[in-house]
Structure 1
Amino acid sequence: MTIEFRKQGEVFSFQDNQGNDIERKTEIRFDPLTGESARLIFDPGLKIQPPDYTEACEQTGGKNCPFCSENLQKLTPLFKREITAQGRITQGGAVVFPNLFPYSKHNGVVIFSDQHYVRLEEFTVEMIKDGFLAAQSYVQRVAAVDSKARYASINWNYLPLSGGSILHPHIQVMVSDSPSNYQKMVAEKALDFKKDMGKEYFTALCETEKTLEERWIGEVGDIAWLHAFAPKSHNDFIAVFSKAYSIDDVKEQNWIDFSTGLRALFATLNEQGFASFNLMLHISPNPESKQPIHVRLIPRLTLGLLNTSDINFFQALHQEPLSFKLPEEIAAIALKHFEKIQ
């Protein structure tokens, strides 16, 4: 099993109402690790208009928000003493507390700061770093008291288009006895790759993409960034913590470097008109497998005058992503912003 960037094309031929021939090409790409397919479809000149949440901020902030400072201590729940004697975990301006509506056996919510509405360009390295350091602390505390909960991830729904139900920026930290479908498939396929090739997949992927320079974006410290070959949305950025194979391997400097790169990606999203995203940081349950921590980030949006969801039957039921954007072109946009931070 080698890293293969496999794709195939399909062409739909038809005529307009004047009898002129039209051809539309669909490119089907296959993920080099899992074999899952994604479709690059005709771009009609997609123009994204980011929503403005200023009015919503005024309506939902302060006394109306459980995460704002006047309500945080009164309305958010507490962890049991085995996690922290203080009930909540703090790191700089970040605070971690239990999710009232958990997705898994252990589910913490991390708020970044007192600021209720933070635009992409307003996130600072310090703010992001503290949020993820706090999330790391929660994962480590759970691991110390529950050996069965081995599947950990840090997840971010930013703004309502991503599925975020509260405007106040926050991330979700999940630690479960059971893997998600993504965690299960990646673990199995990465193990198969290592048995077959004698090397770890994400390390090999970074080496290959860096050599090709087609979807490679750059490195900040020990964090490598690239764009997925078979994207899960119109952008699909991957970050690889090249020297961190467990949550304990991640140092504060790694979070600083990650936050620096993430801000460059926020600028990349901004340039395209994207204001919302989903992010997942996956932590391998087995440090001995030497699978580095990796991140995926995709934008979320609505389409047209009806504010149509960007997810339709193809993604939801066929479970195959669609993208209007060519990964190589998006990587080139991101590269410009990464060059500014070097």
Structure 2
Amino acid sequence: MPIQWRKSSGTLTFLDPTRNWEPTARVTEIRHDPLTGLRARILDYPAHFPPPPDFRPAAEESAGWCPFCPERVTTVTPRFLAAVTGEGRLVRGPAILFPNLFPYDENSAVGVFSGDHYMPLNAITAGWVQPGLELAQDYARVLAQAYPGRTRHFTFNWNFLPTAGASLVHPHFQIIAGEEPTNRHADLLEASRGYYREHGRVFWEELAEEERAAGERWLGETGPVAWVAAFAPQGLLEVWGITDSGRYEELSAAALGGLADGISRLASAFAEEGYSGFNLTIFSGVTEEDRRSFRVQLRMVPRLLLSAAGTSDMNYFHTLHGEAITMLRPEEVAARLRPRFSPAPAEGGPA
């Protein structure tokens, strides 16, 4: 049975004061995620966004006390127990990882990509991102050795700049890996397992194949990572990067490089589109069954302010109804992003 792409629509007709009270019809389209059924609403609404805020003054103000800058990071951040690493912290090139002072779970870590205190969105390169992705994999493997037999719902998470919820402008990411998954992680794992049990096929492989063949939301590939615009986006737009492995600790170097490459291309595109930050999560499989049924996947959603008054792009629909709204059709988004995934790297992207 092929993947189901479910959508419906409703129309509101009203007397429009901007058109001399003529009847005007606006259509709202409701889409369902093809695996989980999670809804998203696409509004018939003109999208006009203000210029992104300038974070350079905040960066200059915080440079003197930022805990993630090189002159302070080893003296003011926590250290791991010796059971995790005798070195206290994990290091990979310019990237460094340490326990989260305010943890979200029993295994909760913060990683700093580099000593760069402020990184503009369009300056993010694959080479700058990749050590952080590799360091996260080091942590996943260390946890497996330090706590054998423990369930770890591993995710890599990144709020880039305050628009996306970052408390500091210094770029950093967070790892959570506890026995209890987040709601979204649990839904993805269970639905993937269920699809595999029912159909004997991996949903994520079928999704990539169908999206590549249809072309509407297909962006391209970076090594073994397939990139698509989500059919039912959970933000103004949402991009997925689908790998070829079930668990993060088993990703190949080529897959980590492909993820870093795609992040760089998307960051550059988001900057060009006028966004001022993004949220990013990489979900990992957990069990032996997930090696067969799940594929490690990256999800990236740009963030912005909707008005000069600082209106958030999230409201009661997102926070209380658990449903996303957008004014951007995924197919139109894909058409704009697709050139970034041509074989040649995007300008300002990875070298």
Q: TM-score normalised by the shorter chain: which range applies?
A: over 0.9
Structure 1 range deviating more: 13-22 or 125-134: 13-22
Asked if the contact 2:5–2:34 (Cα under 8 Å) also holds between the matched residues in 1, the reply is yes
For 1:287 and 1:55, locate their aligned partners in 2 and report how far apart those are by CA, in whole Å: 48
Give 1:196-207 correspondences, 5 Å limit: 196-207=198-209
Return the offset for 1:340. 5.3
For 1:329 and 1:287, locate their aligned partners in 2 and report how far apart those are by CA, in whole Å: 38
For 1:92 and 1:202, locate their aligned partners in 2 and report how far apart those are by CA, in whole Å: 32
Asked if the contact 2:218–2:228 (Cα under 8 Å) also holds between the matched residues in 1, the reply is yes
Asked if the contact 1:143–1:149 (Cα under 8 Å) also holds between the matched residues in 2, the reply is no
Match of 1:321 among 317, 324, 330: 324
Matched position secondary structure for 2:328:
coil
Structure 1 range deviating more: 188-197 or 205-214: 188-197
Q: Name segments (4+ residues, structure 1) moved above 6 Å.
A: none
For 1:128 and 1:37, locate their aligned partners in 2 and report how far apart those are by CA, in whole Å: 31
What per-residue deviation string (whole Å, max 9, x for no partner) do you get for residues 289-339 of structure 1?
321101111111111121111111111111110011000011111111111
What per-residue deviation string (whole Å, max 9, x for no partner) do you get for residues 64-89 of structure 1?
10000111111111001111111010
For 1:206 and 1:221, locate their aligned partners in 2 and report how far apart those are by CA, in whole Å: 14
For 2:50 and 2:151, locate their aligned partners in 1 and report how far apart those are by CA, in whole Å: 40
The match for 1:100 is 101
Identical positions, percent: 34
Asked if the contact 1:2–1:197 (Cα under 8 Å) also holds between the matched residues in 2, the reply is no
1:218 and 2:195 matched: no
Structure 1 gap segments, 5+ residues each: none
The match for 2:25 is 23
The match for 1:136 is 137
Structure 1 range deviating more: 178-187 or 245-254: 245-254
Asked if the contact 2:317–2:323 (Cα under 8 Å) also holds between the matched residues in 1, the reply is yes
TM-score by length of 1: 0.96
Return the offset for 1:341. 2.7
For 1:341 and 1:285, locate their aligned partners in 2 and report how far apart those are by CA, in whole Å: 35
For 1:22 and 1:226, locate their aligned partners in 2 and report how far apart those are by CA, in whole Å: 34
What per-residue deviation string (whole Å, max 9, x for no partner) do you get for residues 2-49 of structure 1?
311111111110012332111111000011001111000123232242
The match for 1:6 is 6
Give 1:1-342 correspondences, 5 Å limit: 2-17=2-17, 18-61=20-63, 63-146=64-147, 147-242=149-244, 244-289=245-290, 290=292, 291-339=294-342, 341=344
Asked if the contact 1:140–1:247 (Cα under 8 Å) also holds between the matched residues in 2, the reply is no
For 2:195 and 2:321, locate their aligned partners in 1 and report how far apart those are by CA, in whole Å: 26
For 1:188 and 1:340, locate their aligned partners in 2 and report how far apart those are by CA, in whole Å: 35
Asked if the contact 2:124–2:268 (Cα under 8 Å) also holds between the matched residues in 1, the reply is no
1:130 maps to a residue whose letter is P
For 1:252 and 1:15, locate their aligned partners in 2 and report how far apart those are by CA, in whole Å: 58
For 2:233 and 2:195, locate their aligned partners in 1 and report how far apart those are by CA, in whole Å: 20
For 1:311 and 1:171, locate their aligned partners in 2 and report how far apart those are by CA, in whole Å: 21
What per-residue deviation string (whole Å, max 9, x for no partner) do you get for residues 132-176 of structure 1?
101111111112222323210000010011111011000001110
For 1:246 and 1:16, locate their aligned partners in 2 and report how far apart those are by CA, in whole Å: 53
1:164 maps to a residue whose letter is A
Asked if the contact 1:278–1:298 (Cα under 8 Å) also holds between the matched residues in 2, the reply is yes
Matched position secondary structure for 2:232:
coil
For 1:287 and 1:262, locate their aligned partners in 2 and report how far apart those are by CA, in whole Å: 28
What per-residue deviation string (whole Å, max 9, x for no partner) do you get for residues 173-215 of structure 1?
1110101111111111111111222101111110111111010
For 1:184 and 1:14, locate their aligned partners in 2 and report how far apart those are by CA, in whole Å: 41
2:297 maps to a residue whose letter is H
TM-score by length of 2: 0.94
Structure 1 range deviating more: 46-55 or 20-29: 46-55
For 1:255 and 1:16, locate their aligned partners in 2 and report how far apart those are by CA, in whole Å: 51
What per-residue deviation string (whole Å, max 9, x for no partner) do you get for residues 110-151 of structure 1?
101111000122222221110110111111111222232321
Return the offset for 1:103. 0.5
Asked if the contact 2:160–2:166 (Cα under 8 Å) also holds between the matched residues in 1, the reply is yes
For 1:151 and 1:205, locate their aligned partners in 2 and report how far apart those are by CA, in whole Å: 23
Asked if the contact 1:245–1:293 (Cα under 8 Å) also holds between the matched residues in 2, the reply is yes
What is the Cα-based RMSD across aligned positions, in Å? Answer: 1.3
